[in-house]
Structure 1
Amino acid sequence: MTDYFRDLQAAGRTESTVRSYGMDLLRWFRFLWAIDVSWDRATRLEARDFCRWLLINGQPDRPHWRSGQPSEPSPSSAKPYAASVRAHNETVLRCFYAFHLDIATGPMLVNPFPLDRTRRSGRVNAHHNPMEPHRKERTGLYRPRVPKRIPRSIPDEEFNEIFAKLPSHRDRALVAFYVSTGARASELLSTLQGGVAPGRQLISVVRKGTGAVQELPASTDAFVWLRLYQVQMGDLIPRGRRLPLWWTLRRPVRPLTYHAVHRMFERVNQLVGTSATLHALRHTAAFRMAEDPALPLTDVQLVLGHAQLTTTQLYLTPRKEDVIRRSWSITLNRVGRRPSGRRPLRRRVIGRRRWMCCSARVSRDRHRPPGRCTCGLPASSLGRAADREVSAASRLGPLACCRDGPRRGVADVDRGDAAAGGPSQPRLSSARSDVDAGLVGGATGPDLARALARERRRCGW
């Protein structure tokens, strides 16, 4: 194991990466010690059982060192490892045994965590299109499928409750910097006292992957809380441009670590009754930046420190809270809307034309009541626009009544123009140009005549 760690260090891997690989290897070695198998004698059967153990048995119940005696673990309360943890463990163990096979360490002949040859045929990325990104075709045999999840952000109401329960100025300054800069938890803790520029509202952090120092813009409130924290601590914090910016509140003061900040945020979540995580503050800042139309997506990528623009595009997905809020607003508007006196607008159906009825005697048009045709057909269903259509059509010449079949009539009013209040012009249509034979004769004339007779008897016209 020492040779493998030396190889990782020589390849430029960070300390956190080496520690993560070591924790995965420790989990594998504990499994081998329990079944009394040496690491260089493990086969594919042990690798299969180990992957099943991660899925079925789950995480062990280890109480905190400050608590009392450990409780008896219960099989029903075991929480299985996440798919991302199991996938990372399989990759680490496959690379570990591949390294020892290359340097010929031990009597091993095969890798117990092989690649799945059935998931690909032939060479890796064969016939690759240069306009598309490379696909991950080198997949392990026991590697689980990791689902693609949408980053979880903290709603504004929940964030306000969490911020109100923060106990100190230091914690308020940390949360304000997290939600305004979008920096990772470990990146913000790497800030030195000389890396703060309140006049320019910039704070310098050390990036996680590259290790480069980058200046990030922050909000004014974050610098106000930072100054209150410095005044509160006074001379307890050592001064120096190369000294850490964040320190513990307990005495003697020590540089603040990631686990201390993580535990602080967990205690606040227990007080509020929420399940937000420390990394969710970064997601919240990313969603707020991506939703701002004045900020290009490439600028958001630079601030967040993403290597690929496709990673930043995940934050263009609508947040669940916003989608639910907009859906509720539409539902409430439809349910709580009072019914108006006007009839709902109907869409025009292609192939069907409704005609206004007018008499051949134009002189009777001046004596008709408003809102009615000269033959008695009420035009209330079409509103005032229909009344204007009848008057305008009567000035164009004698029009036929519905009882005889329309030889020359006015087509239905465009409901969109009538609703918009714009001027509507009458559209004339002749019987020769109409393709619908039912409007020019047949059963349409008698049906309309009977309907008009019933309407006249009802209205007393």
Structure 2
Amino acid sequence: MVDRESGSRDLSTSVMPRQGRLEETGNEWEPYRLIAPDGQVVAAAAMYFKELRASGSPATTIRSYGMDLLRWWRFLTAIEVSWHRATRGDARDFMLWLQMADKPEPAGQSPHRQRESALLRAAIPASGRLAPGAPNPITGKLAPARKYAPSTQAHCETVLRAFYDFHRELGSGPIINPFPLARTRTSGRAHAHHNPLNPFTPERQGRYRPKIPARIPRRIPDDRFDELFRALGSDRDRALLAFWVSTGARAAELLGVRQRDADPGQQLITVVRKGSRAVQRLPASPDAFVWLRLYQEQMHRQGMPRGGDQPLWWTLRRPWRPLTYHAARKMFVRVNETLGANWTLHDLRHTAAYRMARDPEAAAG
């Protein structure tokens, strides 16, 4: 018999099951559902997802939260504890397991997906494969390590604490949240009664929340950006890269624009912001609109759909499909592979911010 509170559970011998999954439904009302290792839909997670959807969270947020819940459900299956009977000892062991355990290898992938995962996880340079956690010789960025990153651990702790708070308020979960606040806090959010005249002080939120090391935003140097731009294989990809680095928009925001949202005359492009869903017109570089025109002329001759309400970005081959974030990311991964780099689409946003901060005309405006 294992004493769940005293810490006598041997986590080194625990094997997490690979059963269970987060399933995409294709239904905008319920974009994802959590399937437990026993094959049943987790009703508690479905209720939480509906709450998130009603509060305005996009499908990407529900997917992110769902992956954290999937890890927790697999852990509960391994220790044979139901979710509503989990204790703080179980939560403590779970967070300890996240710190010590290796990330599971993806299973059931296609050869193309395995090749892409190997690039993202190990940052393969031209001279050979890097060890997990080693810096890339071109970008200087660390390759993904075998362990879960502190940011992943912190995100998981926050999501699970909110999940149990939701069910505690609803009366469908345990009375005591297994993921408690730090001992220095009793309730409420961090800096709830902060005096705006005083500087913010570090304040821990969750008791089992790990410390996240500060990271310096990494931009793409101009010479490396030129190499990246030359390696692109189509005018569409060149237009995308030019818009990303000149507007500073998120990748998904720019991919969601329609054909009428591009205004070459004023050199503006309209996007819908991720969090606020506000419609905002962003200035872009003249080169971006030149590459956009070249892409449109080429694709219109091949029969690409036209119309103001039609998406601006399409796949390059028939049947025509709107370009998704995952397809754009794969394009960027392939270009990185040819250079032996591991830049990400988010690095383009940091690069845009760096260039805008150093542009005297942008600072004056």
Is the shorter-chain TM-score for this pair beyond 0.5, marking a shared fold? Answer: yes
Correspondent of 1:151 among 217, 226, 231: 217
Matched, 1:206 2:272: yes
Tell me if structure 2 keeps the 8 A contact 1:90–1:140.
Answer: yes
Correspondent of 1:79 among 126, 146, 156: 146
How far apart, CA to CA, are the structure 2 residues paired with 1:70 and 1:123?
41
The aligned counterpart of 1:428 is none
Higher relative contact order (CA 8 A, sep 6+): 2
How far apart, CA to CA, are the structure 2 residues paired with 1:243 and 1:123?
43
Matched, 1:30 2:74: yes
Secondary structure of the corresponding residue to residue 270 of structure 2: strand
How far apart, CA to CA, are the structure 2 residues paired with 1:68 and 1:256?
19
How far apart, CA to CA, are the structure 1 residues paired with 2:232 and 2:307?
27
**One-letter amino acid of the counterpart of residue 229, structure 1:** Y
**One-letter amino acid of the counterpart of residue 9, structure 1:** R
Secondary structure of the corresponding residue to residue 111 of structure 2: coil
How far apart, CA to CA, are the structure 2 residues paired with 1:95 and 1:145?
19
Tell me if structure 2 keeps the 8 A contact 1:31–1:50.
Answer: yes
Tell me if structure 2 keeps the 8 A contact 1:63–1:70.
Answer: no
Report percent identity of matched pairs.
59
**One-letter amino acid of the counterpart of residue 175, structure 2:** L
Larger Rg: 1
The aligned counterpart of 1:449 is none
How far apart, CA to CA, are the structure 1 residues paired with 2:112 and 2:352?
39
The aligned counterpart of 1:48 is 92
The aligned counterpart of 2:287 is 221
Secondary structure of the corresponding residue to residue 117 of structure 1: coil
Alignment CA distance shift 1:180-1:34 (3 Å): same
Number of positions where the alignment pairs a residue of Structure 1 with one of Structure 2 = 293
Tell me if structure 2 keeps the 8 A contact 1:119–1:137.
Answer: no
The aligned counterpart of 2:42 is none
Q: CA deviation at 1:70?
A: 8.4
Q: TM-score, normalised by structure 2?
A: 0.74
Alignment CA distance shift 1:68-1:282 (3 Å): closer
Secondary structure of the corresponding residue to residue 71 of structure 2: helix
The aligned counterpart of 2:4 is none
Q: CA deviation at 1:165?
A: 0.6
Correspondent of 1:165 among 231, 234, 256: 231
Instruction: Show structure 2 runs of 5+ residues with no match.
Output: 1-44, 116-130, 133-144
Deviates most, 172-181 or 49-58: 49-58
Correspondent of 2:358 among 291, 299, 303: 291
The aligned counterpart of 2:168 is 101
The aligned counterpart of 1:253 is 320
Tell me if structure 2 keeps the 8 A contact 1:152–1:283.
Answer: yes
The aligned counterpart of 1:270 is 337
Q: Deviations over 1:302-334 (max 9, x none)?
A: xxxxxxxxxxxxxxxxxxxxxxxxxxxxxxxxx
Q: Deviations over 1:355-405 (max 9, x none)?
A: xxxxxxxxxxxxxxxxxxxxxxxxxxxxxxxxxxxxxxxxxxxxxxxxxxx
Alignment CA distance shift 1:128-1:193 (3 Å): closer
How far apart, CA to CA, are the structure 1 residues paired with 2:282 and 2:318?
31
Q: CA deviation at 1:177?
A: 0.6
How far apart, CA to CA, are the structure 2 residues paired with 1:110 and 1:13?
26
Tell me if structure 1 keeps the 8 A contact 2:189–2:205.
Answer: no
The aligned counterpart of 2:28 is none
Secondary structure of the corresponding residue to residue 214 of structure 1: strand
Tell me if structure 1 keeps the 8 A contact 2:190–2:205.
Answer: no
Tell me if structure 2 keeps the 8 A contact 1:183–1:282.
Answer: yes
How far apart, CA to CA, are the structure 1 residues paired with 2:87 and 2:95?
13
Q: CA deviation at 1:251?
A: 1.9
**One-letter amino acid of the counterpart of residue 220, structure 1:** P
Q: Deviations over 1:212-267 (max 9, x none)?
A: 11111111111111111112212432111111111111321211111111111111
How far apart, CA to CA, are the structure 1 residues paired with 2:193 and 2:268?
47
Q: CA deviation at 1:125?
A: 4.8
**One-letter amino acid of the counterpart of residue 271, structure 2:** V
The aligned counterpart of 2:245 is 179
Alignment CA distance shift 1:50-1:217 (3 Å): same
Q: CA deviation at 1:113?
A: 0.3
Tell me if structure 2 keeps the 8 A contact 1:55–1:80.
Answer: yes
